[in-house]
């Protein structure tokens, strides 16, 4: 399908999202998603913007690139070359449950924009919302046979890889990512891995602590803590620690927050309980929550009504520990729960060093003066660095998103994410009859080429002049022999 036609189709998707917005929102079964407001801001708006951005930008990003005639190396003669972007073929998307509309939907749209067919393995509990996404793109004009939804069992993804796909895009834990990559490696299938996070926040000495406290509360509560770029490790100078902790206490005690709890799976709560107990035993203290709140009150959701994957969930209070250091298990814990760690440091340099001890690198947020924040950016190993904001800018459809280390590799979204859904193909045409490489080597060829190398790339004028002499001597001898 021509790229302009694909762009027109994707241009209709945003309007279809609006038409089906309530159906999409009601199809989300994850128990931590309790607000339509949050679904609009975290999923529907970003996905609609992504569709609009793709429809306007994809032709430019995927256009054929022609090499310049004037920059063609002399020794190549007369060549005309171009780099085209071909579709990968079939893209397997292994979906996630925490943001099933935006994350799976944006990956689907980018794959279709590049001209691929798509196979989706939804996360358990996300079968209905994934089917709704497919109906939206089909209603917009995408041929139905280009998008296939598997059942939610992991065996379905394994079978798809075995049968044959051309690229894998996975959003999930680093543990699950390794298992997928083990199978992909046997088939030499490339992959984009958007994996776990345990993100860092740096509070600089001149930071606006009210702004920091407001955004930390937002990040802690967003999607019930089930966000891969939630604020987990907050590096704060000792001199600011007491002031920041006081502001956090006040915000968590405010109306609308004091009684707030988040649903978490029992297995998640058990992992968190062990890590919290270990941290407390090693000197950490509670700023919010308690060991009892981590245990929670277990309740089993009605799977028939809610469509929630089998398993028990519990409601727990947000847990904020202070006095955390790098020796504690919880410091590098990848977990979907409302938990945040205050890590006091003697200096920002110490915070940077300690941050390197955590293997995850999705996003880092820095609060404070822009000049100092920019100066430390190069020392932070993360896919995204935000200055004086948190989470929300990563939903910008123009920006790529991806991690480093245990947080995976490759990117989704943005121009780079669109290019990742395609593969370059080089087409070169030879003009003219000059084909010196088709002839048998002559006695003077070595001297000619050595002189040409010096003439074109010698560091000093003397080197280039010597190269010119070799070239002329070689040509002169060749003419004499002729």
Cα–Cα distance list, 444 to 93, 447, 466, 475, 480 (Å): 58, 5, 16, 8, 12
- Residue 177: which H helix or E strand, with range? helix 174-187
Question: Average of pLDDT values for 343-367?
Answer: 96
Residue 301 has pLDDT above 50, yes or no: no
**Domain regions of the chain by residue span:** 3-195+415-425, 199-394, 440-481
Tokens representing 337?
A: 């729960």
Tokens representing 122?
A: 């939804």
Treating both helix axes as pointing N-terminal to C-terminal, what angle do 3-10 and 45-61 enclose, rounded to 10 degrees? 170
pLDDT band at 379 (very low <50, low <70, confident <90, very high): very high
Residue with tokens 């860092």: 200
HEC letters along 354-401 = HHCCCCEECEEEEECCHHHHHHHHCCCCCCEEEECCCCHHHHCCCCCE
Q: What gap in Å lies between CA 250 and CA 142, rounded to an integer?
A: 51
Q: What gap in Å lies between CA 128 and CA 399, rounded to an integer?
A: 28
- Residue 54: which H helix or E strand, with range? helix 45-61
**pLDDT at site 482:** 53
Q: 23 and 132 in contact (C-beta within 8 Å)?
A: yes
Residue 475 has pLDDT above 60, yes or no: yes
Domain spanning 3-195+415-425, CATH architecture: 3-Layer(aba) Sandwich (3.40)
Domains 3-195+415-425 and 199-394 share a fold: no
Residue 457 has pLDDT above 70, yes or no: yes
Query: What CATH fold (topology level) applies to the domain 199-394?
Result: Aldehyde Dehydrogenase; Chain A, domain 2 (3.40.309)
pLDDT digits (tens, 9 = 90+) for 47-68: 999 999 999 999 999 999 999 9
Residue 321: which of 251, 240, 234, 256 has the closest Cα?
234
**pLDDT at site 300:** 40
Question: Average of pLDDT values for 402-419?
Answer: 96
Could you tell me which residue, 74 or 139, shows the higher pLDDT? Answer: 139
**pLDDT at site 478:** 59
Residue 423 has pLDDT above 60, yes or no: yes
Kindly state the DSSP code that residue 64 receives in the 8-state scheme. Answer: P
Highest mean pLDDT among 173-177, 284-288, 415-419: 415-419
Q: What gap in Å lies between CA 202 and CA 444, rounded to an integer?
A: 65
Question: Average of pLDDT values for 191-196?
Answer: 96
**pLDDT at site 70:** 87
**pLDDT at site 443:** 84
pLDDT digits (tens, 9 = 90+) for 303-352: 332 333 445 778 888 999 999 999 999 999 998 999 999 999 999 999 99
Tell me if residue 441 falls in helix, strand or coil: coil
DSSP calls for 84-117: EEEE-SEEEEE--SSSTTHHHHHHHHHHHHTT-E
Cα–Cα distance list, 341 to 43, 331, 346, 348, 349 (Å): 27, 8, 16, 16, 18
Helix residue ranges per DSSP H, 188-314: 209-221, 238-252, 266-281, 291-295, 303-306
Tokens representing 374?
A: 């920019």
Residues 6+ apart with CB under 8 A from 117: 89, 90, 91, 145, 146, 147, 148
What share of the chain in percent tops pLDDT 70?
94
Question: Average of pLDDT values for 245-253?
Answer: 94
pTM: 0.91
**pLDDT at site 292:** 64
**pLDDT at site 444:** 86
Sheet holding 79-87, edge to edge: 65-66, 79-87, 422-430
Q: Could you give the maximum distance between any two Cα atoms of the chain, in Å?
A: 97
Question: Average of pLDDT values for 147-168?
Answer: 96
Residue 430: which of 72, 79, 26, 28 has the closest Cα?
79
Q: What gap in Å lies between CA 141 and CA 198, rounded to an integer?
A: 39
Q: What gap in Å lies between CA 400 and CA 203, rounded to an integer?
A: 25
Exposure string over 362-395, b if 16+ CB within 10 A, otherwise e = bbbbbbbeeebbeebeeebbbbbbbbbebbeebb
Residue 413: which of 2, 30, 104 has the closest Cα?
104
**Radius of gyration of the chain, Cα coordinates, nearest whole angstrom:** 28
pLDDT digits (tens, 9 = 90+) for 107-124: 999 999 999 999 999 999
Question: Average of pLDDT values for 198-205?
Answer: 97
Residue 96: which of 223, 261, 267, 275 has the closest Cα?
223
Exposure string over 448-461, b if 16+ CB within 10 A, otherwise e = bbebbebbeeeeee
Residue 272 has pLDDT above 70, yes or no: yes
What share of the chain in percent tops pLDDT 90?
79
Treating both helix axes as pointing N-terminal to C-terminal, what angle do 461-481 and 445-457 enclose, rounded to 10 degrees? 150
Residue 474 has pLDDT above 90, yes or no: no
Question: Average of pLDDT values for 431-451?
Answer: 88
Q: 431 and 223 in contact (C-beta within 8 Å)?
A: no
**pLDDT at site 299:** 42
Q: What gap in Å lies between CA 40 and CA 230, rounded to an integer?
A: 19
């Amino acid at each position: 399908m021509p790229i302009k036609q694909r762009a027109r189709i994707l241009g209709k998707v945003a309007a279809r999202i609006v038409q089906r917005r309530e159906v999409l929102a009601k199809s989300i079964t994850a128990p931590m998603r309790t607000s339509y407001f949050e679904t609009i801001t975290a999923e529907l708006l970003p996905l609609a913007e992504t569709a609009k951005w793709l429809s306007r930008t994809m032709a430019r990003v995927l256009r054929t690139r022609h090499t310049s005639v004037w920059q063609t190396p002399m020794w190549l003669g007369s060549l005309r070359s171009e780099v085209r972007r071909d579709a990968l073929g079939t893209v397997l998307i292994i979906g996630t449950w925490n943001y099933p509309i935006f994350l799976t939907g944006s990956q689907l749209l980018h794959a279709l924009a590049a001209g691929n067919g798509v196979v989706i393995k939804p996360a358990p509990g996300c079968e209905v919302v994934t089917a709704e996404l497919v109906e939206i793109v089909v209603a917009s004009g995408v041929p139905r046979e280009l998008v296939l939804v598997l059942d939610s069992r992991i065996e379905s993804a394994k079978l798809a890889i075995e049968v044959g796909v051309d690229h894998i895009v996975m959003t999930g834990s680093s543990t699950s990512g390794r298992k997928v990559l083990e199978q992909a490696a046997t088939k030499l299938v490339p992959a984009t891995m958007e994996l776990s996070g345990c993100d860092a926040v740096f509070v600089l000495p001149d930071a606006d602590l009210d702004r920091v406290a407001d955004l930390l509360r937002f990040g802690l509560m967003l999607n019930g803590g089930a966000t891969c770029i939630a604020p987990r490790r907050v590096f704060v100078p000792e001199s600011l620690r007491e002031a920041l902790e006081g502001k956090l206490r006040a915000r968590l005690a405010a109306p609308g927050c004091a009684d707030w709890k988040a649903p978490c799976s029992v297995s998640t709560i058990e992992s968190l309980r062990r890590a919290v107990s270990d941290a407390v035993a090693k000197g950490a203290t509670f700023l919010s929550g308690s060991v009892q709140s981590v245990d929670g009150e277990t309740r089993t959701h009605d799977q028939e009504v809610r469509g929630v994957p089998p398993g028990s969930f519990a409601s727990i209070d947000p847990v904020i520990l202070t006095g955390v250091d790098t020796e504690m298990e919880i410091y590098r814990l990848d977990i979907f729960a409302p938990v945040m760690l205050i890590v006091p440091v003697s200096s920002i340099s110490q915070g940077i060093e300690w941050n390197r001890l955590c293997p995850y690198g999705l996003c880092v947020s820095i609060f404070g003066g822009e000049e100092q924040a920019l100066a430390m950016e190069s020392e932070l190993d993360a896919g995204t660095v935000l200055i004086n904001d948190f989470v929300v800018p990563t939903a910008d459809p123009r920006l790529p998103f991806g991690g480093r280390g245990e947080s995976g590799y490759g990117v989704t979204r943005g121009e780079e994410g669109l290019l990742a859904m395609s593969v370059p193909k080089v087409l070169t045409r030879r003009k003219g009859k000059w084909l010196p490489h088709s002839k048998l080597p002559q006695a003077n060829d070595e001297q000619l080429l050595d002189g040409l190398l010096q003439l074109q790339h010698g560091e000093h004028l003397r080197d280039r002049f010597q190269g010119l002499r070799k070239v002329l001597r070689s040509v002169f001898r060749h003419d004499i022999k002729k």
